Amino acid sequence: MAGIITPKQLLDDLFITEPDEIDLEAIAAHLGASVKYAPLTGCEARIVGDGDTAIITVNSQSIPQRQRFSIGHEVGHWVYDKGKISLECGAAKQQSFYTAQDPESRANAFASELLIPKQMLLPRLQGRKADLSTLTELADTFRTSMTSTACRVLDMQTHPTMVVCHTRTKRLWYRGSREVQDVLRPLRNLSKDSVAWGLLQGNGTTGSEEVDADAWIDHPDAGDYTVFESSFLATPEMVVSLLWWRSDLQIREAMRSSGDDWN
Ligand SMILES: [Zn+2]
């Protein structure tokens, strides 16, 4: 879209080159939006805009990582729909990025790129495995949630990777890197052989292990391969897992035999 400033341009305009310089309130102010904190019920943040100025209100009771994401999200709405707007955005909308293409997803993508810019993330990923220690370190550096950090790591496409989110009873969403997206599909229900399943049973809040791929992947030959699982509780009822393939053999084999014996 012409005339829409990108997160990268925004950061460049403000000479922001390091994660600790990403001051969301200053970035919003640069675009005419001021940020206020107040207890909100039923939503995480809202924006009321008129002409060239807007007021973003963020839930003062949310954790700082969530507040930062919310500001980035509302700034995203403002950049795309400057003028007269009035929106309320809840946690569910801030998940929609992972499953759909719509104004909420667009605002979420904007927030992700603003909070974890590619040019700052890529050098920090170099030579690192997509595992818990990398995720924890990056989430700390960028002051973001583990979930949005995991999704950004996946966006960088440096390895075959998948991010999957489950509750005890179902899969909520998943995303794969380019290599795996339309080739491999995660199980709908968590396998007892996964670390994630244990976390939802109360065995800690994080865990990682190299597991047989049939603990994760819905494919007849999955048991022949392994996958590196890094899981963490996003809430007590929701587990997010970053899956990382050391080699792309399983993906190549699945592509070769693709099609009709699974769905
Ligand atoms: Zn929104």
Compute the distance from residue 88 Cα to the ligand 1 centre, in Å: 6
Compute the distance from residue 95 Cα to the ligand 1 centre, in Å: 10
Phi/psi zone of residue 51: left (φ > 0), alpha (ψ -120 to 50 degrees), beta?
A: left
Compute the distance from residue 213 Cα to the ligand 1 centre, in Å: 36
Least trusted range by pLDDT, from 18-27, 76-85, 223-232, 238-247: 76-85
Compute the distance from residue 93 Cα to the ligand 1 centre, in Å: 6
121-166 pLDDT tens trace: 999 999 888 899 999 999 999 999 999 999 999 998 778 999 999 9
Average pLDDT on 38-48 reads 94
Percent of the chain clearing pLDDT 70 (strictly above): 93
Compute the distance from residue 107 Cα to the ligand 1 centre, in Å: 6
Compute the distance from residue 234 Cα to the ligand 1 centre, in Å: 20
Compute the distance from residue 258 Cα to the ligand 1 centre, in Å: 38
The answer to whether 5 and 106 have CB atoms below 8 angstroms apart is no
* H or E segment and range at residue 198: helix 195-200
Percent of the chain clearing pLDDT 90 (strictly above): 70
Write down all domains in the chain, each with its CATH number in brackets: 7-115 (1.10.10), 144-256 (3.30.450)
pTM of model > 0.85: yes
How many CA atoms within 13 Å lie on the side-chain side of 76?
25
213-236 pLDDT tens trace: 999 999 888 999 999 999 999 999
85-122 pLDDT tens trace: 888 888 766 665 555 568 888 899 999 999 999 999 99
Q: Please tell me the predicted confidence (pLDDT) of residue 249.
A: 83
Compute the distance from residue 44 Cα to the ligand 1 centre, in Å: 9
Compute the distance from residue 191 Cα to the ligand 1 centre, in Å: 34
The answer to whether 205 and 233 have CB atoms below 8 angstroms apart is yes
Compute the distance from residue 79 Cα to the ligand 1 centre, in Å: 12
Spatial distance between the Cα atoms of 104 and 208, rounded to a whole number of angstroms: 32
Compute the distance from residue 1 Cα to the ligand 1 centre, in Å: 19
